[in-house]
Structure 1
Amino acid sequence: MKKRLVAVVLTALSPAMGMLAYNEVTARSERNAEIHRQVEATAMQTASEVRSLIEGVKALLVATAAIPAISSGDVGACGDVLKSVTGKLGQARNIIVLDRTGKLICGNTDVDPGANFADRPYVQQALASDDLSVGEFTMSRVTKAPIVPMAMAIKNGKETVGVVATALSLEWLENRIMRRGLLPGGSVTIADRNGTVLARNPEPEKFVGTVIPATYQGLIRAAQPGTTEVMSQDGTRRIMGYVPVSFENPFYVSAGFSQRQAFAPIDRASILGFLMMLVGAGLALFAAFFIGNRLILEPINHIVSVLRRWRQGDTSARTGMTERHSELGQVGATVDGLLDEIDERRREAARAEENRKLVTRELSHRVKNTMAMIQAIARQTFKDRSAENAVFARRVATLAGAYDILLSEDWKSADMHDVLQRALSPFVNDSDGRLHLRGPSCTVSAEAAVALSLIAHELATNAVKYGALREPDGLVLVEWRQTADRVEMDWLERDGPPIVPPNVEGFGSRLIRSAFPRSLFPKISSDFLPDGLRFHLSFTLAQQSSVDAEVSPAEYDDGESAGAH
């Protein structure tokens, strides 16, 4: 029962468990999609800010190139102008002016005129293009600090007469992205087209100047912005949005968010829900065991205990439960009512049995009184023949005693030897040796005992009238044996008068043929031999069902009529 209660509790909790699992999966899926959108938007916003910075540098270089002292190549005035310009800017480390061969004309730093920058790719690109040329991460020849150089051509009409160049301060860029702030577990990375990190938040000192691993180099040159899930170099699993290098975006930008931090609220809610479910399950199991034991198991055990005691003989055992004790109280009250009814029926059966025994004893008493009256009549009739009177009286007394066989067993069963001896004793004396009974002890049912008494009485009557017991030297041998569940009996007559088979069936033959109930499957046969009758009878010890007992007359092999010799 406790297992069933646990099963009920688990079944009741299964919808909540399913809902918890569904909410967990749904919340994680929605949160994952939200984080992907968020990091992609952050990356796009950061890339937009970087583009704004680059546009600011471009405007600075355009404005500087338009200054007459710069465009005319006035070396004396050029340096003073550049110093005044860079003193008001934070993002530009320095500005220099080169001629069309890449040699330094002037600058805001103490660099010897004539220094050659023609080998720099960004200078070559600026000389060949009218647009802004953005270089890669490099170490400045002037300041020896890491920079990102940028340059634009100086035009005189359509002719390129020189190059104005500056360097984006990585320190300033780092401070700029630091001021934006990050969520716990977040990161922002800016790298050049080669994958060299220009700025990073957090831990810039650890990553600036390093190259993005080859595993993620493909993101730098991706066709379009997107999101992915990566294991960052700092060992944090992140969902990352990225903007690849393109014509509009000379720098690679990525923004990531820690998966652990992203799903922390959901994890806390899941853990809390799981703990609450465990507490609920514990309370439910406690209720199932405690309340179930108190309200279900104890009443059931009480009812079973009462039934067991009643079965063991304590007929006064009752549950004492009423219908107000819930449904099990109704069961207990019904059991009490059933036991009361069974006791009442048992008392009625005992009274009926007592009445039956009284009637049976009265019947036996009256039969014996009838036999006593017959003996009295015989004494008056045979008063002058005392020998015949004694024999007759003994036979009448023996006939009366035959009823005691069944009465002593309450009409349930009797021993076959006793049945035959009581039935045949009125016809022969015990001392003359004319009757022989041979067979093992065999208890037969009341129906078989009555049928055997009738058949033996009829066979003995015929033997006295027509057969072996008619002659002084005649004898009768009755043998029986038990094989499996059947009894085989033979009646053999010897040294009697010649026997003539009867032409018609008399009452005795019909009585012998129909004495046994069909439920015992009797089989009867008779042989009229020259030296006496041979009668055979077989029957089952146990009764069969009424359907099995429905046999055809062909199954009764009774040979010739056994009742008339």
Structure 2
Amino acid sequence: MKLKLVAVAAAALAPVVAMLVYNEFALRAQRNEEVRANAAQAAREASSEVERIIEGVRAMLVSVSAMPAVRHLDAASCSESLKSVAENVPNVRTIFVLDPKGSPICCSQPINAGTTFADRDYFNGVIDSRQTVVGTYTMSRVSDTAVLPIAMPLMEGDNLKGVVVTGVRLDWLQNRITERGVSPGNAVAIADGKGTILARVPFPERFVGTVIPDEFQSLIHADEPGVIDVTSQDGTERILGYRPIALPGSPLYVSAGFSKKEAFDQINRSTLASGLGIVGGVLLAFLAAFLIGNRFLLAPIERIAATMDRWRNGETKARTGMRGPDELSAVGATLDGLLDELDRRRLETERGVEERALLMRELTHRVKNGFTLVQAISRQTFSKVEPERYHSFSERVAALARTYDLLLSKETTSSSVREVIAAAMEAHLDGGCERIRVDGPDVVLPADLALPLSLVVHELATNATKYGSLSSETGKVSIVWRKERERLDLTWTESGGPAVDAPARKGFGSVLIERAFPSKARSVSRSDYLSEGLVFELSFAAGELESLSQVSADGVAEQGT
């Protein structure tokens, strides 16, 4: 019952739990989409700012290229002009002009003699393309600091007169990203075309100047921007929005990552609170199911069951004593009423049994007096005239009296099959016990089976005496029984008497034979009226029969009767 109550509570909570779980998944899916959109937006904003910085530097180089001192390649005045410009542009450290062979012509600050830039990728890129080139992470040979070089061709018509070069200070770029601010757990990174990190928040000291791992190199040159889930180099799980350098106007790779832990922190706290609430609710529901179930369901049911057990064990006065408006109290009150009614009927039955027993004893006494009176009359009538016939008649009357005493007595006890047959047959013998053959094991029958068997054998013997084999001097009767598991099979066979015919109608004796046994015995009988005599077969269930001994006898006299 307790498990059923728990099942009911679980069934009641199941829809609520299912709804909370669904809401949890829906919120997480919605939050995931929001974070991915924010990551893509952050990457776009960072990329736009980088583009503005690069575009500003390019505009500055265009202005420098237009200065007369630069265009005439006057080393002294060119250097002064470049120095003046560099001092007013905080995001660059130096500006210098190279000839087509890579040697310095003028510079915003002194350059060591013999220094050449012919091996630099950005210089060769301008020579080959005649266009502005954004280089890669470079240690400047002028300032000896990390810069992002930007070079522009100095053209005169179709002729390349030189290359104007500057470098965006990476420390300035780092400070610019840091000043923009990044939420805890999030990250922004800028890398060049080779994947070298130019600026990063957080942990710039660990990652600036290092190359992005191979598994992320494909993002740098991807065909279009995107958002992916990654585990960053610092071990943080992030949702990463990225902008590759292949995009128009995007000379650098930019990525913005949002920490999953921080992004889902509020939802995780809400999930934890909801989970604890669900667990608490489940525990409270189960506790309530146990307490309320014990108080209002289990206790009344156990009380009713205990009352029934006590009543079954003989406490006829046991009652639930339940009263109340609820259904189980009504059941208990109804049970009390039923037990009261059964108690009343039991008392009436006991009084009826006592009255019947008194009447039966009176009837037995009167029947025995009747047989005594018949014996007295016969003695006075025949004892002196025909003493032998009187003696035979007297014995049969006495046997018949004993049989009726057995049939009418309510104090009958268990008897063996042999004793029952002997008592039933004694009234029908006239000194001819050799005409009766009895064969079978000595099996003890309970009183409720011994009496029906006595009635059946007595009726068969009466019919045999009237119409069958015992009505002639040569007739015989064979009574044989055997035990088969829990059933007793008995066969009554007549022979040597007059020819018999099946009766035209069913008399009282036949009805008595069919209905003598109680229903629990499941008795079955069959009568065959053969020309040589009646054959009657009887089978009934006798439970666990008790065998005394296996004996064979050829006459009633062998039974000690």
Fold equivalence (TM over 0.5): yes
User: What's the counterpart of residue 241 of structure 1?
Assistant: 241
**CA positional deviation for 1:101:** 4.2
- SS at 2:182's partner residue? coil
In the TM superposition, 1:408-487 aligns within 5 A as 408-409=409-410, 416-426=417-427, 438-439=438-439, 440-441=441-442, 443=445, 444-461=449-466, 467-468=472-473, 479-484=479-484, 485-487=488-490
Is the 1:489–1:536 contact (alpha carbons within 8 Å) kept by the matching residues of 2?
yes
Is the 1:92–1:169 contact (alpha carbons within 8 Å) kept by the matching residues of 2?
yes
Is the 2:417–2:450 contact (alpha carbons within 8 Å) kept by the matching residues of 1?
no
**CA positional deviation for 1:112:** 5.5
Deviations 1:433-456 (A, max 9, x none): 777674554545544422321321
- SS at 2:513's partner residue? coil
Q: Give the structure-2-normalised TM-score.
A: 0.83
Deviations 1:517-538 (A, max 9, x none): 285313345665xxxxx76433
User: What's the counterpart of residue 230 of structure 2?
Assistant: 230
User: What's the counterpart of residue 17 of structure 1?
Assistant: 17
2:305 is equivalent to residue 304 of structure 1: yes
**CA positional deviation for 1:192:** 0.9
User: What's the counterpart of residue 193 of structure 2?
Assistant: 193
- SS at 2:249's partner residue? coil
Report the Cα distance in structure 1 between the residues aligned to 2:146 and 2:34, rounded to whole angstroms: 37
Is the 1:151–1:164 contact (alpha carbons within 8 Å) kept by the matching residues of 2?
yes
Report the Cα distance in structure 2 between the residues aligned to 1:144 and 1:450, rounded to whole angstroms: 134
Report the Cα distance in structure 2 between the residues aligned to 1:113 and 1:392, rounded to whole angstroms: 168
Report the Cα distance in structure 1 between the residues aligned to 2:245 and 2:506, rounded to whole angstroms: 126
Is the 2:321–2:333 contact (alpha carbons within 8 Å) kept by the matching residues of 1?
yes
**Which is further off, 434-443 or 104-113?**
434-443
Q: 1:216 to 1:433 in 2, by over 3 A?
A: closer
Is the 2:469–2:494 contact (alpha carbons within 8 Å) kept by the matching residues of 1?
no
Report the Cα distance in structure 1 between the residues aligned to 2:476 and 2:17, rounded to whole angstroms: 91
In the TM superposition, 1:71-470 aligns within 5 A as 71-111=71-111, 115-129=115-129, 131-157=131-157, 159-246=159-246, 247-324=248-325, 326-375=326-375, 377-378=377-378, 381=381, 385=385, 387=387, 392=393, 395-409=396-410, 416-426=417-427, 438-439=438-439, 440-441=441-442, 443=445, 444-461=449-466, 467-468=472-473
| One-letter amino acid matched to 1:270 | T
Report the Cα distance in structure 2 between the residues aligned to 1:186 and 1:179, rounded to whole angstroms: 14
User: What's the counterpart of residue 539 of structure 1?
Assistant: 538
Report the Cα distance in structure 2 between the residues aligned to 1:236 and 1:448, rounded to whole angstroms: 97
2:492 to 477, 489, 492: 489
1:523 to 527, 543, 547: 527
| One-letter amino acid matched to 2:514 | P
Is the 2:475–2:494 contact (alpha carbons within 8 Å) kept by the matching residues of 1?
no
User: What's the counterpart of residue 551 of structure 2?
Assistant: none
Deviations 1:30-74 (A, max 9, x none): 222221111111111111001100111111111112122222223
Q: 1:59 to 1:416 in 2, by over 3 A?
A: closer
**Which is further off, 138-147 or 519-528?**
519-528
Is the 2:95–2:107 contact (alpha carbons within 8 Å) kept by the matching residues of 1?
yes
- SS at 1:15's partner residue? helix
Deviations 1:163-219 (A, max 9, x none): 322111111111110101111111111111111111111111211111111221111
Q: Give the structure-1-normalised TM-score.
A: 0.82
**CA positional deviation for 1:225:** 0.8
**Which is further off, 36-45 or 432-441?**
432-441
Deviations 1:486-513 (A, max 9, x none): 11234577xxxxx7647x7889998877
- SS at 1:399's partner residue? helix
- SS at 1:222's partner residue? coil
Report the Cα distance in structure 2 between the residues aligned to 1:118 and 1:463, rounded to whole angstroms: 148
Is the 1:423–1:457 contact (alpha carbons within 8 Å) kept by the matching residues of 2?
no
Report the Cα distance in structure 1 between the residues aligned to 2:31 and 2:258, rounded to whole angstroms: 12
Is the 2:479–2:490 contact (alpha carbons within 8 Å) kept by the matching residues of 1?
no
Q: 1:506 to 1:225 in 2, by over 3 A?
A: closer
Over aligned residues, Cα RMSD in angstroms? 3.4
Q: 1:261 to 1:434 in 2, by over 3 A?
A: closer
**Which is further off, 248-257 or 393-402?**
393-402
Report the Cα distance in structure 1 between the residues aligned to 2:101 and 2:294, rounded to whole angstroms: 101
Q: 1:524 to 1:92 in 2, by over 3 A?
A: same
Is the 1:522–1:540 contact (alpha carbons within 8 Å) kept by the matching residues of 2?
no
**CA positional deviation for 1:306:** 1.0
- SS at 2:161's partner residue? strand
Report the Cα distance in structure 2 between the residues aligned to 1:204 and 1:292, rounded to whole angstroms: 65
Q: 1:120 to 1:492 in 2, by over 3 A?
A: closer
**Structure 1 unmatched runs, 5+:** 469-473, 494-498, 529-533, 544-565
User: What's the counterpart of residue 549 of structure 1?
Assistant: none
| One-letter amino acid matched to 1:457 | T
Is the 1:6–1:288 contact (alpha carbons within 8 Å) kept by the matching residues of 2?
yes
**CA positional deviation for 1:78:** 1.9
User: What's the counterpart of residue 50 of structure 1?
Assistant: 50
- SS at 2:184's partner residue? coil
Is the 1:106–1:113 contact (alpha carbons within 8 Å) kept by the matching residues of 2?
no
**CA positional deviation for 1:25:** 2.2
Number of positions where the alignment pairs a residue of Structure 1 with one of Structure 2: 525
| One-letter amino acid matched to 1:302 | R
Is the 2:364–2:409 contact (alpha carbons within 8 Å) kept by the matching residues of 1?
no
Q: 1:489 to 1:239 in 2, by over 3 A?
A: same
Report the Cα distance in structure 2 between the residues aligned to 1:47 and 1:351, rounded to whole angstroms: 109
| One-letter amino acid matched to 2:405 | D
